[in-house]
Copies of this chain bind each other. A is one copy, B any other.
Amino acid sequence: MAAHAISPLAPKETPKLPAIAGARLATGHSGMRYKNRDDLLLIEFAPGTRVAGLFTRSSMPGAPVDWCRKQLAGGAARGLVVNAGIANVFTGKAGSDATKATAAGAAKALGAKPGEIFLASTGVIGQILPAEKIVAQLPAMQKALAGDAKPSDSRASDSWAAAARAIMTTDTFPKLASAQCRIDGKLVTINGIAKGSGMIAPDMATMLAFLATDAKLPAETLQAILKAANNQSFNCLTVDGDTSTSDTVLLFATGKAGNTPHVKAADKRLADFRKALTAVMADLAQQVARDGEGAQKFVTVSVSGARSDASARVIARAIANSPLVKTAIAGADANWGRIVMAVGKSGEPADRDKLVVKLGDRAVTARGMVRPDHDEAAATAHFKSNDVRIGVDVGVGKGKAVVWTCDLTHGYIDINADYRS
């Protein structure tokens, strides 16, 4: 498998994340698929950590998704083990045995119960996961756990970046984000990492994303806040319309910030936390689009005037997943007719004669046709930028939605005609 050039849309440098009290990280190397890089992540959480999670709605979920769904009912977490290279999907009883063995190994290394261990795997579908190769590395990884990052401690402050790197597959850069907020005046930190590049079309949750915070909140509250934040972040994302069998978003809260643990997710004293969590997740989701397989341009599709927000999202996804729209963007051909086509095929209500298509800040259409003042050169210039914004008002209501995606280039074909995922 060839290594691919780093996305031109990658951040200029990898951010250094602050510590999350109660969370320590280590990476390791299993040798199951990747050479010369770490492919394992272990995170240890302090006793009392609460967890929330969202998973793929695929009817073919991987064994780790089955495992996490089951353990989530307990609401308590002490560890997370992630491997890259083999997804442990469509592996029957052998797959479920591999999750049990991995959880047992991690529980032993951390002095926890297997039901407090959460798991995720990413990579090739259909291959048996060699759990023994993971379990063999866990004791050494436990000894290497770090996370008490201070700006002066470069090793520790790199533990989140190392973690983000260890879970990559076709990703060309590690994806990290962080935010701080206050609950009742107490400072709370939220860190997140994500992986994803292809097979990205969120449906409930998407790809792998792991979030940790020192906030003190009950599991049910975390779950409700996570779901709402997900709807405004990972669910706004598509690379290729192909929903993964492994999509997992987990949020761990160690409780070390010492805030009052408000129970109601909608409590206004949690507003700052909700906003910060959504910002971290939206940042990560946009990074996934910026690292979409073969991506040369980041694309924001905004739909308004729809029958409902849900309808607006269907229309935005129809545009964002249209291979003809995505190739037009790749070719810097400001072919707004293909956007009209995609609205038309979405199956959602739209008024042809009120439809307004915007490229960047300029409206292109009015009264069911191109505007007389349409400036083709300006539209082309906008499509030549690497931050393309498409706006559509469909003229039938007040629903709106935003979807982030990327263009469809030769790079996508290169990567996927020879990568086995």
> Which A residues contact B (CB, under 8 angstroms)?
56-61, 87, 89-95, 124-126, 128, 198-199, 201, 203, 240-245, 321-324, 327-328, 330-331, 333, 335-338, 340-350, 352-353, 355, 365, 367-370, 408-410, 412-413, 416-418, 420-421
Instruction: Kindly state the separation between the CA atoms of A161 and B416 in the bound complex, as whole angstroms.
Output: 38
User: Could you tell me if A416 and B323 are in contact, using CB atoms closer than 8 angstroms?
Assistant: yes
Contact status B413-A126, CB under 8 Å: no
Q: A332's closest neighbor in chain B, by CB?
A: B417
| Contact present for B420 and A333 (CB under 8 Å) | yes
Would B90 and A323 count as touching, CB distance under 8 A?
Answer: no
Q: Which residues of B contact A410 (CB under 8 A)?
A: 410, 413
Across the A-B interface, the 3 shortest Cβ-Cβ residue pairs: A125-B337, A331-B417, A60-B344
Pick the contact of A243 from B203, B345, B369 — CB < 8 Å?
A: B345
Q: How many copies does the complex hold?
A: 2
Can you name 5 A-B residue pairings with CB atoms under 8 Å?
A: A56-B344, A60-B340, A89-B337, A126-B370, A243-B341
- Do B408 and A337 have beta carbons less than 8 Å apart? no
Most B CB contacts (10 A, CB to CB) among A333, A344, A353 go to: A344
How far is B360's CA from A105's CA once the two chains are assembled, in angstroms?
A: 41
A286→B341 CA distance, assembly (Å): 23
A306 to chain B, nearest CB (A): 12
Which residues of B lie under 8 Å from residue A347 when comparing CB positions? 57, 59
Give CA–CA (A19, B87) in the complex, Å: 59
B330–A245 touching, CB < 8 Å: no
Q: A58-B344, A243-B344, A337-B90 are in contact. Are A126 and B421 (CB under 8 A)?
A: no
Interchain nearest-CB distance for A208 vs B (Å): 15
A305 to chain B, nearest CB (A): 13
Contact of A417 with B327 in the complex, beta carbons under 8 Å: yes
CA distance A331 to B91 in the complex (A): 24
Report the separation of the CA atoms of residues A289 and B58 in the bound assembly, to the nearest whole angstrom: 28
The answer for the CA separation of A320 and B368 in the assembled complex, in Å, is: 33
In the complex, A416 Cα to B347 Cα: how many Å?
A: 23
Q: A417 CA to B368 CA in the complex, in Å?
A: 25
The residues of B that contact A340 with a CB separation of less than 8 Å are 60, 89-90, 125-126, 245
Q: Which of B124, B338, B368 contacts A337 (CB 8 A)?
A: B124
B residues near A92, Cβ cutoff 8 Å: 353, 367-369
Residue of B nearest to A243 (CB): B345
Q: Shortest beta-carbon distance, A102 to chain B, in Å?
A: 18
Chain B proximity of A42: nearest CB distance (Å): 26
Instruction: Report whether A337 and B126 are in contact in the complex, using a CB–CB cutoff of 8 Å.
Output: yes
A335–B344 CA distance with the chains assembled, in angstroms = 33
Contacts of A126 in B (CB 8 A): 336-337, 340, 365, 369-370
Residues of B within 8 A of A333 (CB): 417-418, 420
Contact B324 A198, beta carbon cutoff 8 Å: yes
Cα-based distance from A368 to B347 in the complex (angstroms) = 34
Docked-complex contact A324 and B417, CB < 8 angstroms: no
Q: Would A345 and B412 count as touching, CB distance under 8 A? A: no
Least CB distance, A336 to chain B, in whole angstroms: 7
Of A203, A337, A348, the most chain B CB neighbours within 10 A belong to: A337
